[in-house]
Amino acid sequence: MSIRFEGRVAIVTGAGGGLGRAHAMGLAARGAKVVIADVGAARDGTGRSLEAAEAVVSEIAAKGGEAMAVGVDVANSTEVDVMVGRALSRFSRIDILINNAGILRDKSFAKMTAEDFRLVLDVHLMGSVNCAKAVWDAMRTQNYGRIVFTSSGSGIYGNFGQSNYGAAKTAMIGLMNVLHLEGRKHDIRVNTLAPTAGTRMTEGLVPPDIFALMTPESITPGVLYLVSEDAPSRVILAAGAGTFARTLITETEGVYFPEAERTPENIAARFDEISDPAKELEIEEAFDQTYKLVSMAAKAMGIEMPKR
């Protein structure tokens, strides 16, 4: 079955280059009308220009597609609201939001200033929050929406010198989990992309021959699936160099300790058992974890748990 986007309207942030441009071009090639949202800043977030966004709009128009350029600082909720208002005024609906805009202020935690930490969180985390919040009511009203947040291996697994970036990127997963629950009755599906791509954000960090494999275009097919009509929801999709994998967060079954045995020494002695992945579970929501943990205690004490 072919995945198409005729009649759909998409906003892609950070779409003036790199991954955002590739996503926007991919959507337009399959029929979507696209809002190219880009502040035109340097990698560290300084400066401002609409030139890159307008160039992408011209590329799309030259191929018969329709797009509009908006210079927007996603960390500024007022600018985001104006952007969404313009998109609704022109296209009457918003079906897809791909949160891709980001900056880097890399330094070891010992050398990083609070300002650099906060600025990266403002752009990545609050920028994604601002954009999702701005389109949320429209998606709820039309009972349809597809949202993608952009995480990173730096957030999921860690990367030296990126405590600010890693914290922001891990936050994308928590935001996805909650919006998945709150949006599902309105058919708003929310997913997270964890890409590794050769862009200006990663240039110089990997050898040139490896960098050449990591094209933004090799990642975009995964994003197009995540925003499609039959998209999943609450998925973390890792992607890079044409390889796609699903990142799963699981929890071991656990070990119950009677009250008299609840000592740090006993936990240390049985930590391998506590960590045993043989019966690990994928937890759907926070109360599922609560239910699992308390059920083990209730079973040991002969208490019947209420059915869910």
Do 91 and 81 meet the contact criterion of CB atoms below 8 Å apart? no
Structure tokens at 248: 């799963």
CA dist 152 and 103 (Å) reads: 13
How many C-beta neighbours within 10 Å does residue 229 have?
A: 14
The catalytically annotated residue of 165, 225, 256, 291 is 165
What letter does residue 228 receive in the DSSP assignment?
Answer: S
Residues, the chain: 308
Which pair of structure tokens corresponds to residue 267?
């936990």
SS3 241: coil
* Positive or negative: CA dihedral 271, 272, 275, 280: negative
Closest by CA position to 53, among listed 66, 39, 42, 64: 39
Radius of gyration (C-alpha) of the chain in whole angstroms: 22
Of 181, 194, 189, 191, nearest to 153 by C-alpha is: 194
256 catalytic per annotation:
no
Give the residue from 149, 128, 137, 166 showing the smallest Cα distance to 234. Answer: 149
Catalytic residue numbers read 165
